[in-house]
Structure 1
Amino acid sequence: MSEMCVIGGSRYFGRRLIENLRDAGTAVTVVNRGSAPAPEGVTHLRADRDDEDALRRVLGDRHFDAVIDQVCYTPVQAAVALRVFAGRTTRYVMTSTVEVYAHLDGPPHAEDAVDPAAWPVATDLPWDDPAFLDANYGEGKRQAEAVFTRDAAFGFVGVRTAHVLGGADFTGRLAHYVRRIRAGLPVIVHDDPRPASFIHEPEIARFLAWAARADFTGPVNAASHGTLDVRHLCAAIGETVYAVGADTSPFSFDRGYAMDNGRATALGFRFSHIADWLPSVVQEALAGEERTCAPA
């Protein structure tokens, strides 16, 4: 039986990932602060991943075939994990993001558009300031990838996930459209909204489990086939009113957020197409809004 450690994973597709690994017969250890209970049938260790000593204590002498890090946002966190898990695993998978390409525009981005081996790292920036971290989310992920890539303590994979839709999405981004369209309100978009890549919540969970069991290393894009701009997304939800204003909706982009998933496809992962699952995701969001609006 293989043994894997998931850092974070208390909600959204992280929880589904843990359940998928468990149901496949993997011995799963979950490490988080304990803000939410772990799924049944896994080992749950409580520690703040930023506290290096506490992390070492709670792990004891445990070793893992792979570690999947769902909540690494900064180079400081990456450096702590690198020190703690060196010698405990031979494979480390970090959930990264399409936001590593946020400073770019143009055609779908392949992995070599951002090379973590060459990306500068600044651990002295105020990464512990929530406002700074929120404003520099993509940069934090780029630098975290860079820290892991430059050390050979274990094989490292940075999964650059597209925008995730479906499931218990706590971000409320898709719900934004559902609420406004149902109320007949305008959806505020950019003058020229650009295409972006997306992935279904069950698919990214499946991809992360697949990546943890594989043997390739380096950055890899995870995105369903096809792209959407905000107009296509609105068309899938229903007729809407278009307007241009200051507070643009969350999937209206003024730069291209499309990713090339050719590397992952060539490595053997079979992605779905956005059109295969978007209607069901919209139905989930509509049902969620109906439950929210129902009288008590």
Structure 2
Amino acid sequence: MKKILVLGGTNFFGKKAVQLLLDKGYEVTVATRGNNPIPFEDKVQHIVLDASDSLHAGWQAVQAQQWDAVFDNICYNAEDAHIRIEKLGQQLKHYYFTSSLATYMGDKDGYVEADFNPLTYEINPHKTVDYGEGKRQAEQVLFTQAPFQVTAFRFPIVLDNDDYTKRLHSYVDKALKHETIQFNNPDAKINFVKGSSAANAIVWAIENEQAGSFNISSHDAITRQTFIEWLEEMTGQTIKVDYTDETITGSPFNTRHHWYLNSDKIAEAGFQLDNLASWLKPLMKDLVDGMRAQ
């Protein structure tokens, strides 16, 4: 039975991944700052840890044990990555962490893993570190310096009923309130991953000891116009849409160009991808029904 440490794992798809690991009989320890209740009753061990603080006392409890695998949902930048190497280097066989579609730069009709190579990426210490740059730097440090095996999960926007950011919820809410939705480009394509599918991919990679970078998304992508059509179908009403060249705020799925992943690599390795319509339409309908019942 593998002994697995999860850094962050009490919210959204991290929580789903922990539950899957428990269902499969793994010995799971969850490390969090301790600010929120642990939702797994007495089924997991808990370490109170601020993983961004190399001097935090919780690291002593982490280093006191050997781990078959670590899944890290809270590594955001080069500093975090350096701490992981320092603290886990002698206790770990394989490290898996959440990266992002945001590692990719430029306009392309479907990013593949080779479009960002952490082995050749040079960190510019003067560059502003936003979310995407933080993930690029974290990958660069981990893949070039870690003494353990590394796997990076490059996710697009993750959606589900329990998405605490409520991004899809916001579009459903606008549609039901007959408010205008704004996008820059009706033909720009996008894809997503369902929270449960993200969790399944994490556990699949751990079980199969997959190493390297993996895009994990729906098999297909849709235009913003198709997204609106599906939302109209699920709400049963015509939606007001403003396709504009102006700068847009409050539209979290908006970009001026394509913004989606090609996930053929993980599919060819044996992981089953979902088609968007199979889960995004039902999810929209669930949200519609929930909001109308309120």
- What TM-score, normalized to structure 1? 0.90
Equivalent position of 1:278 in the other structure: 280
Q: Is the 8 A contact 1:98 1:161 kept in 2?
A: yes
In structure 2, relative to structure 1, the CA distance for the partners of 1:24 and 1:231 (3 Å cut) is same
Q: 1:42 aligned to 2:44?
A: yes
Q: Per-residue deviation at 1:175?
A: 1.3
Question: How far apart are residue 30 of structure 1 and its match?
Answer: 0.5
Structure 1 match to 2:88: 85
- Partner-residue secondary structure (3-state), 2:193: strand
Q: Which moved more, 1:241-250 or 1:21-30?
A: 241-250
Per the TM alignment, residue 122 of structure 1 is displaced from its structure 2 partner at its CA by 4.7
- 2:118 maps to 116
1:2–1:26: 8 Å Cα contact kept in structure 2?
yes
Aligned to 1:29: 29
Moved more, 226-235 or 53-62: 53-62
Give the direction of change, closer, same or farther, for the CA distance of 1:65–1:124 in structure 2 (3 Å limit): farther
Q: Secondary structure at the match of 1:65?
A: strand
The residue identity in structure 2 corresponding to 1:217 is A
The residue that corresponds to 1:149 in the other structure is: 143
Q: Unmatched 5+ residue regions in structure 1?
A: 126-131
Note if 1:161 corresponds to 2:155.
yes
Is there any run of 5+ residues in structure 2 with no aligned partner, and where?
Answer: 233-237
Give the counterpart letter for 2:217 in structure 1: A
Q: Which runs of 4+ in 1 moved over 3 A?
A: 122-125
Matches within 5 A, 1:181-196: 181-196=175-190
Distance in 2 between residues matched to 1:174 and 1:230, nearest whole Å: 13
Checking the alignment, whether the CA contact within 8 Å between 1:30 and 1:45 is kept in structure 2 is yes
The number of residue pairs the alignment matches comes to: 283
- Answering whether residue 213 of structure 2 is matched by residue 210 of structure 1, we say no
Task: Indicate the residue corresponding to 1:66 in structure 2.
Answer: 69
Distance 1:288 1:151 in 2: 47
Aligned to 1:247: 248
Distance apart, 1:71 and its partner CA: 0.8
Distance 1:140 1:269 in 2: 27
- What residue in structure 2 maps to residue 179 of structure 1? 173
1:125-144 equivalences under 5 Å are 136-144=130-138
Cα RMSD for the two superposed structures: 1.7
CA distance in 2, matches of 1:258, 1:29: 33
Matches within 5 A, 1:215-230: 215-230=209-224
| Distance in 2 of aligned mates of 1:290 and 1:233 | 20
Write the distance in 2 (CA, Å) between the matches of 1:85 and 1:169.
Answer: 30
Q: 1:201 to 1:84 in 2, by over 3 A?
A: same
Q: 1:97 aligns with which of 95, 100, 110?
A: 100
Which AA in structure 2 matches 1:224? S
State how far apart, in whole Å, the 2-side matches of 1:178 and 1:73 are. 30
* Deviation (angstroms), 1:60: 4.1
Equivalent-residue separation in structure 2 for 1:51 and 1:242 (angstroms): 45
- Which residue does 1:201 correspond to in 2? 195
Distance 2:268 2:207 in 1: 16
Displacement of 1:124 in angstroms is 7.5
| 1:1-30 superposed Cα distances (whole Å, 9 cap, x missing partner) | 111111012211111111111111011110
